[in-house]
Amino acid sequence: MESKLRAGILGATGAVGQNYAFLLENHPWFEITYLAASPQSAGKTYGEAVASKWHMNKDLPKKLSSIILRDANLVSKAVGNCDFVFSSYEGAKEEIMRVEEEYAAAGIPVISNNSAHRFTEDVPMIIPEINPLHLDIINAQRENRGWGKGFIVTKPNCSIQSFMAPIYALMKRGYKPSTLIVSTEQALSGAGFPGVPSLAITDNIVPYIPGEEEKTEKEPLKILGKIEDGKIENCSGLKISATCTRVPVRDGHTALVNVKFSGSKPSLEDIIEVWNGFKGFPQNSQLPSAPVNPIIYRPEPDRPQPVKDRDSENGMTVTVGRLRECDVFDYKFVGLSHNTIRGAAGGAILTAELLSYLRYLTPRM
């Protein structure tokens, strides 16, 4: 790119916001120029605001430490200071929707990590390797709402990243998964900071995470859907039943998946070949954050494991293993993805790269 696009972060002091700050350091296409958080943090430097709660394993980037935090509610402060924003703004659903819509109405595109707009019918929910064509709805979204250059794009919940690409790769090859039983073992970092109390998770598994099962069952249907009459219609013909648990792992969401096919059933060898050869738009376009291999199949009987596999290709790949026949359905396998990178900030950054490549993100004058 001739010059970097100016990126803002809403909710910059939170765990996801800090991941954005960490992952965008030295990004070849984007430069952070605007940071915003709650009214309580507004006016402080970013370094002051996160001094006692910096959660990354690397020091705060020095060039960000002196940036003055703005009140995320005051959209006027962002105008002229950034070309687009990443949103990890925390609050009630109605408040998040209002704030993100105000930025879009002001001509500032929003790439959101939040769930508030995931089921808004003209807002695409993107996994770049799976449904980049859903970005075509942006023009209808702008027209529906009278927005100029602004728009809203969301990323899906982190719990589905560990099985969606493997399932979609098979669909792309012409096979038809019809039923999935998914059990997730979700890392502690998915609950944010401070998250789950230590006495609740040490020597324990919590078999309930509010809202996760509904997201795991419903979000894939929108991602696999199609645009019809200016809105995204859910995929039909696929049913998902999910159980979501919290486990004492720091990072990395694991999914235990049983899959049944309608029509032609692939062989074990076919499935592995499909997974190993899968590429999507980000790989074919060589986007900066795209993993070379969006899916890695591990043949070892005890893989994938969070500690050994979550950081594969900078935390942006999905690792699968333990593929075997199922006595009830057709096959079963284990999938793993890094929930705070691929499942959160990293996935949103890859979406922003896709938007930039397709010229939906352009410099504001």
Domain regions of the chain by residue span: 5-157+345-357, 159-337
In the chain, count of helices (H) and strands (E)? Answer: 13, 14
57 closest CA partner among 250, 276, 326, 259: 250
Q: List, for residues 198-213, the tens digit of each pLDDT value.
A: 999 999 999 999 999 9
Same fold, 5-157+345-357 and 159-337: no
CB 136 within 8 A of CB 153: no
Neighbours of 174 (CB within 10 A): 10
Tell me: the pLDDT tens digits for 235-267?
A: 999 999 999 999 999 999 999 999 999 999 999
Is the pLDDT reported for residue 226 higher than 90?
A: yes
Active site residue 253: yes
* Class level of CATH domain 159-337: alpha beta
Strand order in the sheet with 70-71: 70-71, 30-37, 5-10, 84-87, 110-112, 152-154
Q: What is the mean pLDDT of residues 287-316?
A: 98
What span, in angstroms and rounded, lies between the C-alpha atoms of 26 and 31?
Answer: 8
Residue 282 CA from chain centroid, whole number: 14
Amino acid letter, 128:
P
User: Which CATH architecture is the domain 5-157+345-357 placed in?
Assistant: 3-Layer(aba) Sandwich (3.40)
Percent of the chain with pLDDT over 90: 92
What number is the average pLDDT over the span 104-111? 97
Catalytic residue among 117, 158, 244, 338: 158
pLDDT (average), residues 275-290: 98
Q: Which two tokens stand for residue 52?
A: 């006692």
Residue partners of 258: CB distance under 8 A and separation at least 6 = 180, 181, 182, 326, 328, 329, 331, 332
Residue 53 binned pLDDT confidence (cut-offs 50, 70, 90)? confident
The pTM (predicted TM-score) of the whole model is 0.96
Instruction: Establish whether 134 is a catalytic residue.
Output: no
Q: Given 117, 134, 244, 253, which residue is catalytic?
A: 253
